[in-house]
């Protein structure tokens, strides 16, 4: 068995399953994908449910999603997860797309049927459950600021905030021009949420952050060892809830500063957990994979009552 597979491994069952005791029938697709923690939670869930299947990492070059889907269908794959940079391409190559995924503009979960390829997005719902899990407060009750909102992850989480009726949503991004087309789509989803747009260097950002209950980082700032915090300390106050969608490293510069300011903090591991459990249930309706996945990721018990 390999830590990472490629499209070239999808030529036959013999090539794909050589040396394995179970057939590969699920995968996470990305470029790169070696870092993905998804197999580490999905395989224990498959084993706990006594499902004869293996979950693999599949490295797919940009532009190769159509070919990958075709080969996976031919080999009898049940479905797949999709990560960066393929979420838009996955949506474009599904024959049916769930309305929530369509609103978010991306697909992260695919289910192969005999006559269809269906796309879903569990990132937004997974985020909403993660906030309740980590902080014990519904997302719908929290005035929220999303930093790095112009990317795909930011758009997905912002969409979930609007769908659940977050009272105020502040969207901050380094490239301010990326926010305008996104907010047009968000305002079509509902009118209950007040939406504020700011550039990251706008002097009003600190005030808006201090007025918020929840601060979320969806940018990549914090992934590298020499990264500084995406926000300065004057944006944070005691009692803030601060969530960084990055989970490697577990404590990002933002979370370190937030902790020192008396904030309650959490990283993206719970979002990984909940979006994964929801994806699993798209593939296997009626299953309950959350406990096995939580144990595999060593995540403490939920705050959800």
Instruction: Extract the tokens encoding 92.
Output: 């474009």
Per-residue pLDDT of 262-293, as tens digits, reads: 999 999 999 999 999 999 999 999 999 999 99
Percent of the chain with pLDDT strictly greater than 70 = 99
Cα–Cα distance for residue pair 33/27, rounded to 1 Å: 10
CATH 3.20.20.70 fits 5-121, yes or no: no
- In the predicted model, is pLDDT for residue 168 greater than 60? yes
Given a contact cutoff of 8 angstroms between Cβ atoms, the answer to whether 83 and 33 are in contact is yes
- In the predicted model, is pLDDT for residue 305 greater than 70? no
For residue 166, CA distances in Å to 90, 102, 213 come to 28, 20, 11
Give the list of residues 6+ apart from residue 290 with CB closer than 8 angstroms, or none: 273, 274, 277
Among 113-117, 118-122, 221-225, the minimum mean pLDDT is found in 221-225
From 2, 50, 64, 87, active-site residue: 87
Average pLDDT of the segment spanning 24-52: 96
Band of residue 304 on the pLDDT scale cut at 50, 70, 90: low
Instruction: Extract the tokens encoding 87.
Output: 């979420």
Output the pLDDT for position 34. 93
Instruction: Extract the tokens encoding 114.
Output: 């005999």
3-state secondary structure the chain: CCCCEEHHHHHCHHHHHCCCCCCEEEEEEECCCCCCCHHHHHHHHHHHCCCCCEEEEEECCCCCHHHHHHHHHHCCCCEEEECCCCHHHHHHCCCEECHHHHHHCCCCEEEECCCCEEEECCHHHHHHHHHHHHHCCCHHHCCEEEECCCCHHHHHHHHHHHHHCCCEEEEEECCHHHHHHHHHHHHHHCCCCEEEEEECCCCCHHHHHHHCCEEEECCCCCCCCCCCCCCCHHHCCCCCEEEECCCCCCCCHHHHHHHHCCCEEEECHHHHHHHHHHHHHHHCCCCCCHHHHHHHHCCCCCCCC
Give the list of residues 6+ apart from residue 34 with CB closer than 8 angstroms, or none: 3, 4, 57, 59
User: In whole angstroms, how large is the CA radius of gyration of the chain?
Assistant: 19
Per-residue pLDDT of 232-265, as tens digits, reads: 999 999 999 999 999 989 999 999 999 999 999 9
Tell me if domain 5-121 and domain 124-269 are identical in fold.
Answer: yes
The overall average pLDDT reported for the chain is 94
Instruction: Extract the tokens encoding 10.
Output: 């999808």
Instruction: Report the alpha-carbon angle 120-149-215, nearest 5.
Output: 105
Which residues sit opposite 198 in a β-bridge?
172
Output the pLDDT for position 184. 87
Which residues sit opposite 215 in a β-bridge?
145, 242
Percent of the chain with pLDDT strictly greater than 90 = 84
Intra-chain end-to-end CA distance of the chain, in Å: 40
pTM: 0.93
Tell me the domain boundaries of the chain.
5-121, 124-269
Active site residue 2: no
For 196-216, letters b (16+ CB in 10 Å) and e give bbbebeeeebeebbeebbbbb
Output the pLDDT for position 221. 85
Output the pLDDT for position 225. 84
Q: What is the CATH number of domain 124-269?
A: 3.40.50.720
Can you say whether residue 50 is alpha, beta or left, with left for phi > 0 and alpha for psi between -120 and 50 degrees?
Answer: left
């Amino acid at each position: 068995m390999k830590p990472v597979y490629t499209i070239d491994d999808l030529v036959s069952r013999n090539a794909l399953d050589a040396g394995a005791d179970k057939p590969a029938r699920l995968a996470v697709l990305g470029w790169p994908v070696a870092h993905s923690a998804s197999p580490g939670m999905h395989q224990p869930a498959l084993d706990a449910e006594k499902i004869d299947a293996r979950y693999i990492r599949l490295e797919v070059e940009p532009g190769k999603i159509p070919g990958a889907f075709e080969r996976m269908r031919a080999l009898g794959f049940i479905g797949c997860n999709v990560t960066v940079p393929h979420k838009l391409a996955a949506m474009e190559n599904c024959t049916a797309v769930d309305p929530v995924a369509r609103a978010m503009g991306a697909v992260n979960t695919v289910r192969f049927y005999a006559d269809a390829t269906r796309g879903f997005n569990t990132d937004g719902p997974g985020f909403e459950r993660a906030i309740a899990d980590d902080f014990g407060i519904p997302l719908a009750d929290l005035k929220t600021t999303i930093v790095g909102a112009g990317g795909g992850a930011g758009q997905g989480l912002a969409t979930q905030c609007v769908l659940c009726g977050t009272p105020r949503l502040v969207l901050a991004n380094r490239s301010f021009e990326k926010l305008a087309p996104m907010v047009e789509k968000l305002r079509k989803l509902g009118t209950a949420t007040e939406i504020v747009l700011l550039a990251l260097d706008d002097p009003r950002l600190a005030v808006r952050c201090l007025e918020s209950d929840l601060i979320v980082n969806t940018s990549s700032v914090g992934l590298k060892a020499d990264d500084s915090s995406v926000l300065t300390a004057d944006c944070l106050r005691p009692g803030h809830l601060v969530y960084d969608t990055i989970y490697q490293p577990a404590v990002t510069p933002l979370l370190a500063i937030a902790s020192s300011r008396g904030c309650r903090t959490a990283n993206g591991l719970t979002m990984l957990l909940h979006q994964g459990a929801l994806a699993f249930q798209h593939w296997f309706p009626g299953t309950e994979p959350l406990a096995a996945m939580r144990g595999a990721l060593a995540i403490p018990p939920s705050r959800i009552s």
